[in-house]
Amino acid sequence: MKKAVSEKLRSNEGASLLIALLLFLVCAIVSSVILTAGTAAAGRLSKKAELDQKYYLVNSAAEILAEELEGKMIIKEEKTDEVSAITYKDMNGNTITAGINDSLLFDLARGDDNLKNTKTIYVSYDGKTVYAYYDISVDSNGEVKISIRDIKEKGDVNAYTVTLLFSGDINTSTDDTNNLITTRYRWFLKDIQKGE
Quick one: pLDDT at residue 129?
67
DSSP state at residue 113: G
| C-alpha 190, offset from chain centre | 19
Task: Classify the C-alpha dihedral 153-62-190-142 as positive or negative.
Answer: negative
With a cut of 60, say whether residue 46 has pLDDT above it.
yes
Q: Which residues, including other chains, have CB under 8 Å from residue 61's CB and lie 6 or more apart?
A: 121, 123, 132, 134, 148, 162
DSSP state at residue 9: H
Specify burial of residue 186 (Cβ count, 10 A radius: 0-12, 13-18, 19+).
buried
Residue of 196 and 61 predicted with greater confidence = 61
Which residues lie across from 167 on neighbouring strands?
188
Average pLDDT value over all residues in the chain: 76
Q: How far apart are CA 65 and CA 63, in angstroms?
A: 6
User: 4-13, 49-58, 144-153: which range is least confident on average?
Assistant: 4-13
Query: Would you say the pTM of this structure is higher than 0.75?
Result: no
Residue of 180 and 132 predicted with greater confidence = 180
With a cut of 70, say whether residue 36 has pLDDT above it.
yes
Laid out side by side, the sheet with 128-138 consists of: 95-96, 86-90, 73-79, 180-195, 161-175, 144-150, 128-138, 119-125
Residue of 154 and 89 predicted with greater confidence = 89
